[in-house]
Amino acid sequence: MAEENISRNFIENIIDQDLAEGKYTKIVTRFPPEPNGYLHIGHAKSILLNYGLAVEYGGQFNLRFDDTNPTKEKEEFVESIVKDVEWLGADFRGQIFYASNYFDQMYEAAIKLINKGKAYVDDLSAEEIREYRGTLTEPGKESPYRNRSVEENLKLFQDMKDGLYPDGSKVLRAKIDMASPNINMRDPVIYRIARMTHHNTGDKWLIYPMYDFAHPIEDAIEGVTHSICTLEFEDHRPLYNWVVEELEYEKPPKQIEFSKLYLTNVVTGKRYIKKLVEDGVVDGWDDPRLVSLAALRRRGFTPESIKTFMELAGVSKSQSSCDYAMLEYCIREDLKPKAPRYMGVLHPLKLVIDNYPEGQTEYFDIENNTDVEDGGSRKVSFSRELYIEKEDFMEEPPRKYFRLFPGNEVRLKGTYFVKCTGFEKDENGEITVVHGTYDPETRSGSGFEGRKVKGTIHWVNANDCIDAEVRLYENLIDEEKGKLNEDGSLNFNPNSLEVVEAKLEAASAELKQGDHVQFIRNGYFVVDTKDTSDDHKVFNRVVGLKSSYKPN
């Protein structure tokens, strides 16, 4: 019997070869966020990719904060990132690593480079360093301080550490090649003076390492074997390799780049989101119209749906965009077998069944989920006064409208046939009540085989339904006009949020924060985890029932 042909992505092929050649015996990967904002859907790809590889090869996955820039870092972001990684199910064994825990080793690494003649203290200003660096077509020129002696550099660097110089007055630069075709290799800055209080190390340090210097050292210290990052770091790989080679790590990590995840017509830029939050356009970083992981979680997306989405998106080196509809498809498929199906009326219109006995209540067995075998059923109460959707009644219907209108008969889901006999209007001409009669012979499950009806509508019992706030979300961006206006501002969809006061089946009262439900014909919903209280339930629509995405 032939072995099953399993497609491998290019990263797995590299790891397979490294293991076969004996370069590594245990695979170690990491997710290294900077704690300067909330994670978004693109970060989920990196988390799940790195964690998935560690699991696949029986290795280790590290969560490490690249906290080398105290000006933008907050404990709030650390906490939110930890929560996101845990939510996605990436097990970091309860152990969190911090780049700042390695500051002593990074300082010693810088001393080693100075002693090797591979680093020097430069007095040029940031603007002068930029001027000396050259362009993509012209080589850079060497700093006049480039050939200081090892002894002078050691003393100056020590003095930088001891706070003898003001911020920005000196930097430590790697001594590589000012004529390199790769600008990143033209003596990059690896340390700068910065009097900043760090969230982890306090005021211990007056100098801080630059990301491109710190990152390979962190990887090497932790024994990371494959440092997997996005394509914008491809031009930085020669510098990454230079650092680990010059520092003579025994088993240096290998950097591999993959393409970022791009979603059509969504806002992921921190600068844009920060402005949306500050301007009150959205309800914080976790507003369900955003695609931060906190927002997706609050919107009702599940970790399983995110994982499926990432599997469909795949791993490659070529940049491409995914349709948001594909993400919606994934959550819809995940919730189909999980979410109970209740009746909820989002735009209520009262229906009075005039020939049903006043004061009488009946109970009907209605399936919890028709997509699940042995999904069970629940008792749903029925009485004379009900609520139906406004759109399920029309005074003057168009052709092929099979719901309620004067003289027409429909089935109320799971119960009886009801015929519309009339309606009431208010002083503004708005229909406020629909009247009808029911046929007791047509009870569901009774085996009635008389006349047929073409329409079935859902309903809730006015006597025991619950009131709830329901939030109906659409894309924050106007999909037809595109993401940006000509002036660079975001092109908002004015209908991205509609808030309605709904009437929901009594069973909905038992749903807790974070619980999912399908309200028949209206979509999948989740109980909001932020604004729901004991006496005020809030539901967010996760996704509608209809999909524009067709899987291959």
Q: How confident is the model at residue 547 (pLDDT cuts 50, 70, 90)?
A: confident
Edge-to-edge order in the sheet of strand 96-98: 28-31, 60-65, 96-98
Would residue 89 be called left, alpha or beta, if left means φ above 0 and alpha means ψ between -120 and 50 degrees?
left
As given in the structure block, the two tokens for residue 183 are: 């600008």
pLDDT digits 0-9 by tens, 17-72 = 999 999 999 999 999 999 988 999 999 999 999 999 999 999 999 999 999 988 88
pLDDT digits 0-9 by tens, 434-456 = 999 999 999 998 888 888 999 99
Classify burial at 487, counting beta carbons within 10 Å of its beta carbon; exposed 0-12, middle 13-18, buried 19 or more: exposed
- Residue 80: phi and psi, rounded to 5, are -65, -40
Helices (H), 1-71: 10-20, 41-56
pTM of the model: 0.91
Classify burial at 325, counting beta carbons within 10 Å of its beta carbon; exposed 0-12, middle 13-18, buried 19 or more: middle
What percent of the chain stands above pLDDT 70? 96
pLDDT digits 0-9 by tens, 321-331 = 898 999 999 99
Residue 499 has a pLDDT of 97
Q: What mean pLDDT is predicted for residues 335-360?
A: 97
Within 10 A of 255 (CB to CB), how many other CB atoms are there? 22
Helices (H), 210-254: 211-221, 237-246
- Residue 212: phi and psi, rounded to 5, are -65, -25
Indicate if the pLDDT at residue 479 is higher than 80.
no
What percent of the chain stands above pLDDT 90? 83
